C-alpha cells in the first residue's frame, strides 16, 4: 500500500420507520416470541439470532471511547456515531475537552473518508486500507460494525454444538480441516431475551483472535434494551476498543447526507491505496 498526496507530509495515526416493539431486534436485542423450552440445539439458537439481525436498521449514539494497545497510552475521547445496516453506511466523529474535533471517519460502499482537522488533511481509499500497519488508523468502521451489528452466524459449519447452562447457551461452531477438527466461533447467549453476551473467533491453531462482549442491557428507546458497555479485544495484538454509550436512538432514519464524502477546500487530500 502506498500513499499519494498533493504535498509531502507524514501520516498520523490517529429507524427504521417506526414499528411495533415486538418487531425491533438486533442480534443482541431479541423480542422473538420464543421461550427457552421452544428452542433446542445450537441450530435453533442460530436461526433465531440470524432472523433478528435482519430487523436492525440503524442507530445514532453519543458515547465515550477508550482505545488501548500495548506500548501506547490509553486514548479516551467522546464521539458521535451513526450507522445504517443497509448500504454499509457508517459515520463517526470524535472529540475531547482538549481537542474539540479530533477526526471524522465516514465509510460508504467500501470507501472511507477520514478528515483530520489538526493536519488539515483528508485521507480516502478502500475500506480495507484502514488498520494496516502502513496507515496507522487504529479505529476502523469494521470494528464498530462488529460491535454494533455483529455478523450473521454461518449455518454451514461441520458441527454445531449447544451446551445448555442454567441461564444461557454456549454455542460452538466447529470445522473439519485436513489436520482434524477445530473451533471456529463460540457464542454465549443469554436465555432471557436471547441476548448475545460474548462472541469469540478462533484461528486454525485454536487460539482466540477476536473477543466481543456486550454488557449493561438497559432501555434506550421505547423500552428497547441495548448494551451500553461494549468491548472488542484482539488477544494477539492486545488491541482493545471499548464503547460506553451515553445516549442512543435506534432508528433507520439516519440522514443520508451524514454519509456524504467530501473534501473541504482548505484541506490537502491524500489517497491510501493497496
Pick the CATH number of 35-273 from 3.40.50.10860, 2.170.150.20, 2.50.20.10, 3.50.50.60: 2.50.20.10
Is residue 229 pLDDT above 50, yes or no?
Answer: yes
Please name the residues in contact with 8: beta carbons below 8 A apart, sequence gap of 6 or more. Answer: none
Burial class of residue 80 (count of CB atoms within 10 Å of its CB; 0-12, 13-18, 19+): middle
Confidence of residue 208 (pLDDT cuts 50, 70, 90): very high
Mean pLDDT, the chain, integer: 77
Is residue 7 pLDDT above 80, yes or no?
Answer: no
Residue 72 is given by DSSP the state S
Please name the residues in contact with 156: beta carbons below 8 A apart, sequence gap of 6 or more. Answer: none
| d(C-alpha 116, C-alpha 94), whole Å | 10
Domain spans, the chain: 35-273
| d(C-alpha 63, C-alpha 29), whole Å | 19
pLDDT in tens, 247-256: 988 876 677 7
pLDDT in tens, 13-65: 333 223 322 223 333 443 333 344 444 566 777 787 777 666 677 888 999 99
Note the residue count of the chain: 274
At 84 the pLDDT is 83
Give the three-state DSSP class for 151: coil
Q: CA of 1: how far to CAs of 5, 17, 107, 108, 212, in Å? A: 13, 41, 19, 20, 29
Amino acid at each position: 500500500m502506498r500513499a499519494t498526496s498533493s504535498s509531502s507530509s507524514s501520516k498520523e495515526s490517529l429507524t427504521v420507520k417506526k414499528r411495533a416493539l415486538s418487531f425491533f431486534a438486533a442480534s443482541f436485542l431479541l423480542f422473538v416470541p420464543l421461550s427457552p423450552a421452544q428452542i433446542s440445539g445450537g441450530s435453533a439458537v442460530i436461526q433465531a439470532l440470524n432472523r433478528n439481525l435482519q430487523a436492525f436498521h440503524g442507530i445514532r449514539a453519543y458515547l465515550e471511547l477508550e482505545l488501548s494497545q500495548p506500548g501506547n497510552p490509553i486514548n479516551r475521547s467522546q464521539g458521535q456515531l451513526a450507522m445504517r445496516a443497509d448500504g454499509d453506511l457508517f459515520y463517526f466523529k470524535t472529540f475531547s475537552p482538549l481537542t474539540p474535533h479530533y477526526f471524522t471517519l465516514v465509510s460508504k460502499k467500501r470507501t472511507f473518508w477520514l478528515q483530520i482537522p489538526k493536519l488539515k488533511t483528508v485521507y480516502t481509499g478502500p475500506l480495507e486500507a484502514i488498520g494496516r500497519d502502513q496507515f496507522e488508523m487504529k479505529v476502523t468502521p469494521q470494528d464498530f460494525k462488529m460491535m454494533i451489528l455483529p455478523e450473521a452466524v454461518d449455518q454451514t459449519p461441520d458441527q454445531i454444538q449447544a451446551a445448555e447452562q442454567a441461564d444461557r447457551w454456549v454455542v460452538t461452531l466447529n470445522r473439519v480441516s485436513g489436520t482434524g477438527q477445530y473451533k471456529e466461533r463460540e457464542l454465549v447467549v443469554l436465555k432471557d431475551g436471547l441476548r448475545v453476551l460474548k462472541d469469540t473467533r478462533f484461528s486454525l491453531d485454536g487460539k482466540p483472535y477476536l473477543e466481543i462482549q456486550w454488557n449493561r442491557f438497559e432501555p434506550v428507546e421505547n423500552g428497547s434494551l441495548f448494551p451500553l458497555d461494549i468491548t472488542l479485544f484482539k488477544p494477539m495484538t492486545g488491541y482493545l476498543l471499548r464503547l460506553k454509550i451515553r445516549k442512543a436512538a435506534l432508528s433507520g432514519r439516519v440522514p443520508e447526507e451524514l454519509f456524504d464524502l467530501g473534501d473541504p477546500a482548505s484541506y490537502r487530500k491524500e489517497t491510501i491505496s493497496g
